[in-house]
Amino acid sequence: MSDTYIIEVRSEAAGIVVREKSGFRFFAAVHKFNPLDGRIFKSARDAERAVARFLARRRDPVPA
C-alpha cells in the first residue's frame, strides 16, 4: 500500500496526501485548496471526497 497519493478532482491537481500514524495529511498544491491544507483524513479517498465537496461549495452561489 502506498504512503503518498496525488489528489485530483475534475482533472485539477488539488494536492497530495501522505500517510501518518493518525491518517492521511493533505498538502495543498495550489492556494485555492489552502483551507484544507494540513487536515488529516481517515483515508486518501476521504481526502478526495473532501476536495470535491470543497470545490462544489465554491461554485455554488452564496444565498443573499
pLDDT at 2: 76
pLDDT at 7: 95
Please compute Rg for the chain using Cα positions: 12
Task: List residues bridging with 40 in a β-sheet.
Answer: 25
Global pTM value: 0.84
pLDDT in tens, 18-63: 999 999 999 999 999 999 999 999 999 999 999 999 988 876 555 5
DSSP string, 29-43: SSGGGGGGTT-EESS
pLDDT at 19: 96
Q: pLDDT band at 12, cuts 50/70/90? A: confident
